[in-house]
Amino acid sequence: MAPVSLQSIVKEFELEVIAEYGNLEEIRISVADVTRPGLQLAGYFDHFGPDRIQVLGNMETAFLDRMESKERHERIDALFSRGIPCLVLTRNHEAHPELLECSKKYSTPVLRTSLPTSDFTSAIVKYLNVELAPRMSMHGVLIEVYGEGILILGESGVGKSETALEVVKRGHRLIADDLVEVRRVSDTTLLGRAPEIIRHLIEIRGIGILDVKELYGVSSVKMQENINFVINLELWDEKKTYERLGINEETTSILGIDVPSITIPVRPGRNLAIIVEVAAINFRQKSMGYNAAKALTDRVFGPST
């Protein structure tokens, strides 16, 4: 988990910099949470997390407005002295002179946004959860098919990129080719994206590098997508018995999360793009409670008890 620079947050949320001391890039945020320091401005610091971004909204600003200048300076100084990374004013609130004095004393940046406090806090927590999530890079292809994020894995040369290109031609979207950055954003959710340097690009042996966005338009690509399903491609092995009914459920473990998966054998003549489409539809059906293999079993042997 790599901390996020305060400069990146300022850029992402287009924050107005009221006071900074040349340290926006050096200040790192490593906690995916924020604090509205109402209790702290009242003097209560038990269980206070000084490594969190501090946000002042209507209530905190109104509370400070009711204080005399000396008391206001003491309360704000007590907050800044804990070593907070920064302070953000929402709803374009003006910074009190005492706040700017303490900011300069401790070289703590003061930022501002026009967003309501609840909107800003929820947005930045969501952003930090993604940016600070455990991550790994995988050799594979990530596409979106009928709204499902499909991660295609397999040995080099098995046909992952060619399959993805054909799927994109059929109206679906490419997220990443060759290298997929995977982040665990919750206990049940994986998010995949492409490294910025190869975003929207795909490599086809014999042709070279193609820009999918330029070839098929902006509707053919997507920045990121949840990984809902994994398709493992492998060269057909005559000695191996492959699943024919789909009763046995497979999973692929990624960052500690078991993702539903299937293994598709590859050999000349198989239309992998159509197979991937059908696999996505079948996965969605199963997610909605219908399993064709189980329905067939029930027809033959009767409903299981």
Which residue carries 């509370």 as its tokens? Answer: 63
Kindly write down the DSSP assignment for every residue of 156-182, as one continuous string. Answer: TTSSHHHHHHHHHHTT-EEEEEEEEEE
> Per residue, what are the HEC states of 75-108?
HHHHHHCCCCCCEEECCCCCCCHHHHHHHHHHCC
Q: Catalytic residues, which ones?
A: 139, 160, 178, 244
Yes or no: say if 287 and 256 are a contact pair by the CB < 8 Å rule: no
User: In terms of Cα–Cα distance, which of 72, 60, 11, 63 is closest to 34?
Assistant: 60
Beta strands in 205-283 (DSSP E): 208-211, 224-226, 229-235, 250-254, 257-266
- Within 8 A by CB and 6+ apart from 144, the residues are 150, 172, 173, 175, 222, 225
Yes or no: say if 182 and 190 are a contact pair by the CB < 8 Å rule: yes
Which residue carries 């059929």 as its tokens? Answer: 170
Rama region for 283: left / alpha / beta (φ>0; ψ in -120 to 50; rest): alpha
Q: In angstroms, how far is CA 44 from the centroid of its own chain?
A: 34
- State both tokens at 258: 């078991």
User: In terms of Cα–Cα distance, which of 97, 105, 115, 101 is closest to 56?
Assistant: 115
Sign of CA dihedral 38, 41, 44, 49: positive
